[in-house]
Structure 1
Amino acid sequence: MNHILQEILNDQRFPEGSAWQRRVFSNKDMIVEEGQAGGSLFYIESGCLRVSGNIELESKKNIQPGIWELEQGEIFGEIALYQSQFRTASVCAISDVTLVEINGEKLSIYLDDNPQRGYLFYKGLFEILIGRLDRANHRVSDLFAWGLKVHGIKEHL
């Protein structure tokens, strides 16, 4: 994914300033917040980020556990690639970070106009999403097994 994304960012038909911009954040800066409207995709040039979600407990208390961490070369915000969407998680810097924020609508138009790069981009994105789905499935299985053990349900199966 990194190679094709670099090709796109270096293409003069996809200009910095209108199609994308470089942004710098400090440790503990909030990049995006869950529920916030967004229309951009982010590429991490350097640094580390934590992705977290908001969970409401029975007592109306909220916690925001970390879901996973993202590092240099990874992307996030792909849900807003085609249209403005509400962010499904919060992302916070856990080091100094340099990001490339890519306008989702302009990237979509560029990829339609450049089908070979579009194919390679979406192939890479598909591989990333499959990896994330696999990690999420393992976490759900682990949490389910933990819940069975904690509540003694396993003995009754």
Structure 2
Amino acid sequence: MSNILHEIIVDPDFEEGLAWRRFPFYEQQLIVKEGEIGQSLFLVEEGSLRVSGYIAIDEKRIQSGFCDLNPGDIFGEICLLEFLPRIATVTALTGGHAIEVNGRMLNAYFEKNPEPGYKFYKQLFAIFIERINRANQRVENLLAWGLKAHGIDQHLL
């Protein structure tokens, strides 16, 4: 994904400061917060970030890490096409740099430049498939653990 995004941001028609911006982040800095409205995606250029969210257990909510992001990873793509609440919190584990891409400007660019748009969404689709597969594996592992922890597995075929 980082290759196609870098091709787009070096295009003079995709103006820095308007369509995208590069910014530094520092250890423990909050990059996006779950629930806030956004319409941009981010590309990690340098450093590490943690994606986390709140999980309800009975009447309590605990914050849990979902995954870590490293150079070349993207996040925030759920808010790319329209203003939506962020579905997770992203916090810097180390210092680094990221690129924030304005979703509205990116889609306007793709209207005029469909070939990079096709490449971008093709790669984004592949990322979604990978993430869904990882999430499914986690759910299966948690289900197996829960069944064993409660002794239910011995009653299954």
Q: TM-score range by the shorter chain?
A: over 0.9
TM-score, structure 2 as length reference? 0.97
* 1:45-64 equivalences in 2 (<5 Å): 45-58=45-58, 60-64=59-63
Percent identity, please: 50
User: Aligned partners of 1:138 and 1:112: how far apart in 2?
Assistant: 36
User: Aligned partners of 2:77 and 2:109: how far apart in 1?
Assistant: 15
Give the equivalent residue in structure 1 for 2:145. 146
Give the equivalent residue in structure 1 for 2:14. 14
- Describe the SS at the equivalent of 1:141: helix
Cα deviation for residue 112 of structure 1 reads 1.7
- Which AA in structure 2 matches 1:39? Q
State the Cα RMSD in Å. Answer: 0.8
Give the equivalent residue in structure 1 for 2:81. 82
* 1:5-44 equivalences in 2 (<5 Å): 5-44=5-44
Q: Structure 1: state its 5+ residue gaps.
A: none
- Which AA in structure 2 matches 1:79? I
- Which AA in structure 2 matches 1:142? N
User: Aligned partners of 2:10 and 2:57: how far apart in 1?
Assistant: 46
Q: Structure 2: state its 5+ residue gaps.
A: none
User: Aligned partners of 1:64 and 1:102: how far apart in 2?
Assistant: 27
Cα deviation for residue 40 of structure 1 reads 0.7
User: Aligned partners of 1:129 and 1:108: how far apart in 2?
Assistant: 18
Give the equivalent residue in structure 2 for 1:120. 119
**Per-residue Cα deviation, 1:86-111 (whole angstroms, up to 9, x for no partner):** 00011110010211011010001111
